[in-house]
Amino acid sequence: MQTLHGTIVDVAGSGVLLRGSSGSGKSDLALRLMDRGATLVADDQFLTRSSRRGLVVFSPESLYGMLEVRGLGILSVPAIKSTILRLVVDIVAAEDVPRLPEQAFADIEGEKIHTLRANAFEHSTPIKIELAVRNLNRIGNEGVRNG
C-alpha cells in the first residue's frame, strides 16, 4: 500500500484519477464530474491496494469525504470508500491536449492504466471523461493489466 497524490472520482463504476500540478484544476474538475453523477473517492491523496480485479484506490481515513473547493475551503461531500482504477487523466494546458491522441498507459503500482490528457477548465472535459470511461467499459480491460 502506497500513498499517492491526485483526486479520484468514480464515474459509472470506474475509478478515474485526476492528476496534475497544484492549481491545475483537479478538484474543480472533480466537482463538475460530481455534478454530472460521479462520486468522490479521494481528494489530494489516495492509497492503493492490488486485487485480482485491478488496482483498488481509496482515501486515507482522515480525508474521507472531504473535497477542497477553491474559494469555499474544505467541504464534506458524499463519497464512496473505494473503486477500481481504470483511467488516468493528466491535467495539461489547453494547447497540450492532443487532437488525435495515441493510446497511452500509465504504470501505477505495476498496473497499466489507460491515460488521456485534458484541460480541466474546458467546458467539455467532464463529458470527454465520461465518453472515455464508457469506451473503456465497452471494450473491457483485456490485455491491459501487467501480468
Q: Is 19 a catalytic residue?
A: no
Q: Does 5 qualify as catalytic in the annotation?
A: yes
114 carries an active-site annotation: no
Active-site pick, 10, 19, 26, 28: 26
DSSP 34: H
Which grid coordinates belong to 28? 474543480
- Please tell me the distance from the alpha carbon of residue 32 to that of residue 139, in angstroms, as a whole number: 26
Out of 35, 52, 53, 99, the active site residue is 99
- From 10, 28, 43, 44, the catalytic residue: 44
Task: Collect all residues with Cβ–Cβ distance below 8 Å to 12 and sequence separation of at least 6.
Answer: 37, 130, 133, 134, 137
The beta strands (E) that lie in 12-103 are given as 14-19, 39-42, 45-51, 54-58, 66-69, 73-76, 82-91
Q: Of the residues 5, 36, 49, 134, which is catalytic?
A: 5
Q: How many CB atoms lie within 10 A of CB 44?
A: 18
112 has catalytic annotation = no
The residues carrying an active-site annotation are 5, 26, 44, 99
